[in-house]
């Protein structure tokens, strides 16, 4: 009976994965989608532990497996509950790295078991083993480097001939892995050498990539982990693991392509380019010309008597944990008859969908979040645009300066509005390390200060108008 029940549970779990990804496509259903996929994963895990049979024998060491699950669940729960929205990209990258590490460990254990028992493995089995090891190791070390970059514990590191070194190491890693597949090389020491090579490549792969490209990198590494997990499913002949890995890998790949298109750049350009790197100019406002400041009182008057206000959220909003105050400002303005919308750029923040998650936490209505393609048509008739901690995604240099590293990247056309109020701590450049032309436009004004404090002041001023 159990032999027939487990495939049914796997089928149900696979359907929940597909349904969950489908529901994640809309902010209105994303929470339900996440819970649906999680429920399917729980079902697959429980079914595997208690119903799986290998040569008629159940799993061994169930007590240790359950203990490890309990420990991992407790750690994950605490981390998820304590994480701040500003650190959400770091946590996503860290968890993704753990997935890659698991996939790599599966391949190592499978190879060691085959050698210890003298088992003959097919070419397909060996290929899945080495692919899972290499991709999983690259995903793990690369994700940890991405985590350190997002935590500002590690900068962009570049050296002469870096791409040559990276490409050479990649070729050498693939060659050694291929030799292990065909049998011209063998042994545990060679396997460990391959693991070290893949780990080093993962580090060198992410080291030079600039901070502004982190959303693309996180998405790409996520797809790597999915492919590595799919290899594990092939090794264990586990369909739910295979399907889950394929879904994650394909979804991550599609998202990576979408974000590259949103920046009008190829993936190769992201991986070898300097966008967001240390080489960009960080001179702030020294070269841009003169700018004007505006007080919270004057900004409140402009917004209160506007017909439509568009808020452009950025990473600065997350840093200040000001999403709730921003929602309060929206509520006050709407109480005075002002139409308020949020303009969402695909790569705003530090991970895909960062601004959507941030505003959802503050209970901002989903229909007020307008994507770039749609909202750009509204800027010419918008009275006031309030830019909160965003920088590169509203920089007109992307359209006007062919020498700019962000040239060609589609941006939010905030400069076309009648008035633009930019909230920043200082005139310091954004994550791409370049000056912002918008700051010096005649219709733009700077409101300096912490985003939360400035938004609070705006709320108080709007109430008094």
Q: Is residue 292 part of a domain?
A: yes
Provide the CB-side half-sphere exposure for 44 (13 A, CA).
22
For 21-50, what is the mean pLDDT? 90
Model confidence pLDDT, tens digit, residues 102-160: 999 999 999 998 888 777 788 899 999 999 999 999 999 999 999 998 887 887 788 88
Q: Does residue 208 lie within any of the structural domains?
A: yes
**Contacts with 145 (C-beta within 8 Å, 6 or more apart), sequence order:** 154, 202, 203, 206, 207
Same domain, 87 and 41: yes
Beta bridge partners of residue 54, listed in sequence order: 57
**Which one from 156, 213, 392, 435 is the annotated catalytic residue?**
392
Gyration radius (Cα) of the chain, Å: 25
Residue 55 lies in domain: 2-272
Would you say residue 299 lies in a domain?
yes
CATH number at residue 322: 3.40.50.1220
Q: Is residue 149 part of a domain?
A: yes
Is the CB of residue 450 less than 8 Å from the CB of residue 426?
no
CB 397 within 8 A of CB 406: yes
Would you state the pLDDT for residue 431?
A: 62
Q: Assess whether 20 and 161 both reside in one domain.
A: yes
How far is the C-alpha of 435 from the C-alpha of 398, rounded, in Å? Answer: 11
383 among known catalytic residues:
no
Pairwise CA distance, residues 217 & 261, whole Å = 14
How high does pLDDT run on average in the chain? 89
* Helix and strand counts by DSSP (H, E) for the chain: 17, 8
Regarding whether 20 and 109 lie in a shared domain, the answer is: yes
What is the mean predicted confidence (pLDDT) over 48-59? 86
Cα–Cα dist 53/435, whole Å: 62
DSSP 383: S
295 and 214 together in one domain: no
The domain total for the chain is 2
DSSP structure class, residue 438: G
Torsion over CA: 397, 400, 401, 405 (sign):
positive
289 and 253 share one domain: no
Q: Does 173 share its domain with 310?
A: no
Is the domain of 307 the same as that of 199?
no
CA atoms within 13 A on the CB side of 142: 31
For 398-443, how does the pLDDT look when each residue is reduced to its tens digit (9 = 90+)? 898 888 877 888 899 999 999 999 999 888 776 666 889 999 999 9
The DSSP code sequence of 151-191 is TTSS-----TTHHHHHHHHHHHHHHHHHHHHHTSS-SHHHH
Whether 168 and 49 map to the same domain: the answer is yes
> Cβ(174)–Cβ(113) under 8 Å?
no
Residue at 277 is within a domain: no
Task: Specify the length of the chain in residues.
Answer: 465
Sign, CA dihedral 432-434-437-439, equals: positive
Task: Judge if 257 and 366 occupy the same domain.
Answer: no
């Amino acid at each position: 009976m159990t032999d027939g029940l487990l495939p049914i549970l796997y089928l149900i779990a696979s359907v929940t994965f597909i349904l969950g990804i489908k529901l994640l496509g809309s902010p209105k259903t994303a929470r339900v989608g996440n819970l649906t996929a999680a429920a399917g994963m729980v079902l697959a895990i429980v079914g595997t532990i208690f119903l799986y049979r290998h040569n008629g024998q159940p799993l061994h060491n169930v007590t240790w497996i359950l203990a490890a699950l309990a420990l991992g669940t407790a750690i994950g729960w605490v981390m998820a509950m304590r994480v701040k929205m500003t650190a959400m990209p770091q946590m996503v990258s860290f968890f993704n790295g753990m997935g890659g590490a698991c996939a790599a460990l599966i391949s190592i254990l499978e190879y060691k078991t085959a050698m210890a028992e003298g088992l003959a493995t097919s070419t397909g089995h060996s290929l899945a083993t080495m692919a899972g090891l290499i991709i999983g190791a690259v995903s793990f070390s690369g994700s940890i480097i991405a985590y350190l970059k997002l935590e500002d514990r590690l900068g962009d590191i570049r050296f002469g001939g870096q791409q040559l070194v990276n490409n050479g190491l990649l070729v050498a890693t693939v060659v050694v892995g291929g030799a292990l597949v065909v049998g011209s090389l063998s042994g545990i020491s060679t396997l460990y050498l391959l693991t070290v090579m893949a780990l080093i490549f993962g580090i060198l792969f992410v080291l030079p990539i600039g901070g502004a490209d982190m959303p693309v990198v996180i998405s790409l590494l996520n797809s790597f982990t999915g492919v590595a997990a799919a290899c594990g499913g092939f090794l264990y002949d586990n369909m739910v693991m295979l399907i889950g890995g394929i879904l994650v890998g394909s979804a991550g790949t599609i998202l990576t392509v979408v974000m590259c298109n949103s920046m009008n750049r190829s993936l190769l350009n992201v991986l070898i380019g300097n966008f967001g790197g240390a080489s960009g100019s960080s001179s702030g406002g020294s070269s841009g010309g003169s700018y004007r400041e505006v007080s919270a009182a004057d900004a409140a008057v402009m917004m209160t008597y506007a017909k439509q206000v568009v808020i452009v959220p950025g990473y600065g909003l997350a840093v200040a944990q000001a999403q709730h105050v921003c929602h309060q400002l929206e509520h006050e303005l709407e109480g005075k008859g002002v139409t308020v919308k949020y303009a969402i750029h695909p790569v705003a923040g530090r991970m895909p969908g960062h601004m959507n998650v941030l505003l959802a936490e503050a209970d901002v209505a989903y229909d007020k979040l307008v994507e770039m393609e749609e909202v750009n048509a509204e800027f010419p008739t918008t009275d006031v645009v309030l830019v909160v901690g965003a920088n590169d995604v509203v920089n007109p240099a992307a359209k006007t300066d062919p020498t700019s590293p962000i040239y060609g990247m589609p941006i939010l056309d905030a400069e076309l509005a009648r008035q633009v109020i930019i909230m920043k701590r200082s005139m310091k450049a954004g994550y791409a390390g370049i000056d912002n032309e918008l700051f010096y436009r005649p219709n733009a004004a700077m409101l300096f200060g912490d985003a939360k404090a400035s938004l609070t002041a705006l709320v108080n001023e709007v109430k008094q108008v």
